[in-house]
Amino acid sequence: MSGNYIKYLLLALITVSSIEAQALIDCRVVTGGISECNPYGKRLHHVKKVSYELDRQKLIIVKNLPVPKKAFVKVISVEDMIEKYVHIEAPIRFVGSDSDTLQVEVLNETVEKKIDITGLSPKIPALPIEIEDEPNYGNYCVASGDVLSKLAKKFGLSVKDLAQMNEMTPKSTLRIGKKLKLPLEQARIDVLASGCYTVQERDTLISIAHKFGLSAKAIVKFNNIKDATRVRTGKVLKLPFPYVLAELEYKRKRLEKEARRAKLDIKAFGKHSLRVTATAYTSHRAQTDATPFLAAWNNRLRPGVKSIAVSRDMLTRYGMRNGTKVRIAGLRGYYRVRDKMNKRYKKRIDIYMGLDRRRALRWGRRSVVIYW
């Protein structure tokens, strides 16, 4: 009997507590099936009130505050919220399909909506096709001494590419004056070929060096520039390209070799040396007289003979005479004194070049050392 009484008592307590819980359920623990909740939960009824005194220790008073009035908040289900506040649009992947009915599944419920998709498939503009720009080709005119390997190195190309570009083979010979096609701008080709650059407006030494892959310090040193902070527009700069430096090094070594050879010639030939001005002449009446092949001392000249004419002071002051054997620095072989020049010339020689007027013009006027 006592056991049944305890069971009924526990059942009554559980029923009362469940009713009270439903009446005062906290909004923070809303679960399914609840349409209202109390924003003032039961746990807010038991609070602590803290009061302070100036000269006393802190005193904590525990006090039950009055229960607030019932204020229930309506709970909206997720389904109601979606139907009322969420606007469902057609997925993009359905646009343009043959079906005009889209199935939208929300919270395990299928909502059928009839959507008129007529005209919803706009014409997609064709994407622009990127066409690689053809390289800007320029031309180079072949000069004397040019070969494919030398030109390829000068313009930063391979011999094979340069030959294929111009429908040639790597072993083809170049004709002077032939125009070669290069995948570079014409202005850049001209600079690389000549080794000189004309300063443009807004150019700086750094920008010029960066444009041609050089060092600004190298340009300053190569052109003996004193003020490197400014460069005048229109000034022609010599650029120290590798091939330019190689050519200068070759000339320097050649001059040193000639100087060494000249010193050896002094020891091996003659006791005198003198620097003179050397010109050239031919057997034409415009350059001599009415007898172009007849020289002083009645010497007979003919093309191919190595002879020179000397100024009068070379005979009276420096001891030369008819038939003196002479070496000229930079020229091979020995020359003979066979003619005399006009009285107005001093320290001069005139090299006989037969009938080759072009060779005489190329020689021009030079300062050379002679030995005898």
Range of the domain at 222: 195-240
The answer to whether residue 234 scores a pLDDT higher than 50 is yes
What's the distance, CA 312 to chain centroid? 63
Question: 250 lies in a domain?
Answer: no
Q: What is the pLDDT of residue 75?
A: 61
- The closest alpha carbon to 239, from 254, 222, 257, 255, belongs to 222
Q: What is the mean pLDDT of residues 55-82?
A: 60
Residue 126: exposed, middle, or buried by beta-carbon count in 10 A (0-12, 13-18, 19+)?
exposed
Shared-domain flag, residues 104 and 89: yes
Note the pLDDT tens digit of each residue in 303-358: 889 999 999 999 999 999 999 999 998 888 899 999 999 899 999 999 999 989 89
Q: What is the mean pLDDT of residues 47-68?
A: 56
- The closest alpha carbon to 351, from 371, 372, 331, belongs to 331
End residue of a domain, out of 211, 240, 269: 240
Give pairs for 312-320: CB < 8 Å, separation 24+.
312/340, 312/341, 312/343, 312/345, 313/346, 313/347, 314/276, 314/347, 314/348, 314/349, 315/340, 318/272, 318/274, 319/272, 320/372
End residue of a domain, out of 40, 64, 88: 64
Please report where in the chains the tokens 């039950």 appear, as a residue. Answer: 64
Percent of the chain with pLDDT over 90: 21
Q: What is the mean pLDDT of residues 235-259?
A: 88
Q: What is the pLDDT of residue 114?
A: 44
The answer to whether residue 254 scores a pLDDT higher than 80 is yes
Shared-domain flag, residues 181 and 205: no
Q: What is the mean pLDDT of residues 3-8?
A: 65
Q: What is the pLDDT of residue 128?
A: 45
Domain count, the chain: 5
Question: 307 lies in a domain?
Answer: yes
Q: What is the pLDDT of residue 261?
A: 73
Buried b (16+ CB within 10 A) or exposed e, 63-95: eeeeeeeeeeeeeeeeeeeeeeeeeeeeeeeee
Q: What is the pLDDT of residue 125?
A: 43
Please report where in the chains the tokens 């003996």 appear, as a residue. Answer: 224
The answer to whether residue 216 scores a pLDDT higher than 70 is yes
Q: What is the mean pLDDT of residues 154-163?
A: 89
Q: Regarding predicted confidence, which is higher, 295 or 71?
A: 295
Share the mean pLDDT of the chain: 76
Note the pLDDT tens digit of each residue in 84-116: 666 666 665 545 544 444 444 444 444 444 444
The answer to whether residue 295 scores a pLDDT higher than 60 is yes
For the beta carbon of residue 153, count every other beta carbon within 10 angstroms.
Answer: 16
Shared-domain flag, residues 280 and 354: yes
Q: What is the pLDDT of residue 119?
A: 47
The answer to whether residue 41 scores a pLDDT higher than 70 is no
Shared-domain flag, residues 263 and 233: no
The answer to whether residue 289 scores a pLDDT higher than 80 is no
Shared-domain flag, residues 261 and 365: yes
Shared-domain flag, residues 266 and 365: yes
Q: What is the pLDDT of residue 309?
A: 95
End residue of a domain, out of 207, 240, 273: 240
Q: What is the pLDDT of residue 101?
A: 45
In the three-class reduction of DSSP (H, G, I as helix; E, B as strand; rest coil), residue 315 is classed as: helix
Q: What is the mean pLDDT of residues 257-276?
A: 75
Q: What is the pLDDT of residue 108?
A: 44
The answer to whether 288 touches 332, Cβ cutoff 8 Å, is no
What does the chain come to in residues? 372
Shared-domain flag, residues 328 and 338: yes
Q: What is the pLDDT of residue 308?
A: 95
Q: What is the pLDDT of residue 228?
A: 80
State which of 53-62, 82-91, 218-227 shows the largest mean pLDDT.
218-227
